[in-house]
Amino acid sequence: MTGRRLPRLALGTLALAMLVLPPATPWAQDRAVPRSSAELKLSFAPVVKRATPSVVNVYAARAVEVRNPLFDDPLFRRFFGAPGNIPREQMQRSLGSGVIVDPSGLIITNNHVVEGATEVKVSLADKREYEAEIVLKDARTDLAVLKIKEAGQDRFSAIEFGNSDELQVGDLVLAIGNPFGVGQTVTHGIVSALARTQVGITDYQFFIQTDAAINPGNSGGALVDLSGRLVGINTAIFSRSGGSQGIGFAIPAEMVKVVVSSARGGGSAVKRPWLGAKLQNVTPEIAESLGLKRNSGALVASVSANSPAARAGIKIGDVIVSIDEQTVDDQNGFEYRFGTRPLGAQARLGVIREGRETTAVVALQSAPDGPREELVIRSRSPLSGAKVGNLSPALAEELRLDPSAEGVVVLELGKGSIAQRLGFQRGDVVLAINDKRVASSKELERAVRNPNRFWEITILRGGRQVTAQFPG
C-alpha cells in the first residue's frame, strides 16, 4: 500500500476560500470563519489533548477452525496419522478501537470488532493494558460495551458526550483511532452528510458521513467535535482499495447513548421503544396515489393489536412525516429517531391521513416478551439441528420480523445440520407441519418426534408464506 502525504496548507487554503463567503449569517454566532492570519495558525492540539486519553486500542482474539485439504489425502493420512491428531483450530486476532464512556472502565466499540472473541484486551493512551469482558453486544447497531477487568481503584478518563443531532453539514470533526495498528492517530475533516440511510451496515440505517480519514483499525474509535465531545463512533468506510477514500460513516452519539445506558443499567440487551407497526418507504408511485407533494415519510403497512401504535390511533395507510417536530424522510430515519427516544416518555408523531395532517401521541415502551422456550430439534426430520423458540413482539423486534407475526421462529442452525443443508434460515417462522398448525416450540417438537415418510412444512419468510415438501 502506498501512502500519500496531504499538503500542509490544505486547512489554510480551505479557510482562505471560506473568507469570501457573504456577510454574517444567522448561524455566525456559533460558527465563524478565520478573520486574520493569526487565526489561520490555530491548532487542534487542545481538542486532541482533551479527547485522546479516552480512546483505546482493542485487541480481540477468537478461535477459528482451519481445514487443510491434505487432511483428507490417503497418502498424508498413511504417513502422518488421522486428522484428529492434527490441530484444527488457530487463534485469529483483530484490531480495533474503543472509547471510554465511564470512569469505572466502560468502553464502547463496534460489535464486529469483538464478535466471537474469546479474549479481549484494551491498551490505553498512556500504555496501560487491561483485560476486558464483553458486557453487552447489540448487532442491530453494531455496537458493543466492554468493561475493564480487575481495575482495582483505577479510574479512567471518560469522554463527554456531545449531541449528534446538533451537527451540521460542514462542521469540522476529528477521527481518533488506531488505523493499521500503527498506534493512536488523529485525522480531521468535515461532516459531509447527515442521516445517511442507504449504507447497509446495521439495522439502524442512520449515519454521519465524514471525509476525515478512517482506515482499518479505526472501527470503534471516536468522532469528536471541536469541543472534544463524542458525536459518533467510527464504523465503516466506502472504499474500492481497502483504505480511506474520503467516505467514512459513524454511528451518531444519540444511538450510542441508548446502548451505553442499557449497559450501565446492568442489562445484557438493549431496551428500545416499540411502535408495533410495520413501516415502508414512500415511493414516487405511493406518493402519487396518496396525493402527497413529496415521496418522503414512512408508510404504515400494518399495525399490531394492543400495540402502542394501535392505542395511539395509528392506522394502515398513514404516512409518518415527523417525530417530536423532527422531519422523517424514510423508514430508516423514523426507526432511528424513535429508537433513540427514552422509555417511559411519549413521542408526538406528525401523520398525514387521507391528505390531512394530524398528530398521534405514542407511549414509549419496550416490546412485551413471553416465555421463549428455546430448544434444539434432535429428532430426525427436516428441522433437525435447528434451534427454535416461541415468537413474541420482543423477539420479532429483535429479529426484524413483522410485529404481527405469530408462531415458532428459527433462532439458530447447527453447522452442517439437516435443517441448514435443506435451506432453512434464521428468522423463518414455522407455521404448520403436515397441515397441522404449530403454536409453540414444544408443539413443534412433538410434531416432528416420530419419523415420517413424507414432510410438508409451511414457513413465513420475508413476509411471504412458503410450503415445501421433503422426503422422510
Residues involved in catalysis: 112, 142, 219
Kindly provide the b/e burial profile for residues 373-406, where b requires at least 16 CB atoms within 10 angstroms of the residue's own CB.
Answer: eebbbeeebbbbbbbbbbbbbbbbbbbebbbebb
What is the chain's percent helix, strand, coil content, to nearest 5?
Answer: 20, 35, 45
- Report d(CA 387, CA 182) in Å as an integer: 42
Query: What are the angstrom distances between the C-alpha of 266 and each of 106, 367, 382, 438, 460?
Result: 12, 19, 39, 35, 35
Closest of 106, 44, 251, 101 to residue 164, by C-alpha: 251
| CA distance from start to end of the chain | 55
Is 407 in a helix, a strand, or coil? coil
Nearest-Å Rg of the Cα atoms of the chain is 26
For the purposes of burial, counting CB atoms within 10 Å of the CB of 49, is it exposed (0-12), middle (13-18) or buried (19 or more)? exposed
Do 427 and 400 form a contact (C-beta atoms < 8 A)? yes
Closest of 187, 188, 336, 192 to residue 273, by C-alpha: 336
Do 212 and 223 form a contact (C-beta atoms < 8 A)? yes
Q: Which residue's entry shows cell 456531545?
A: 162
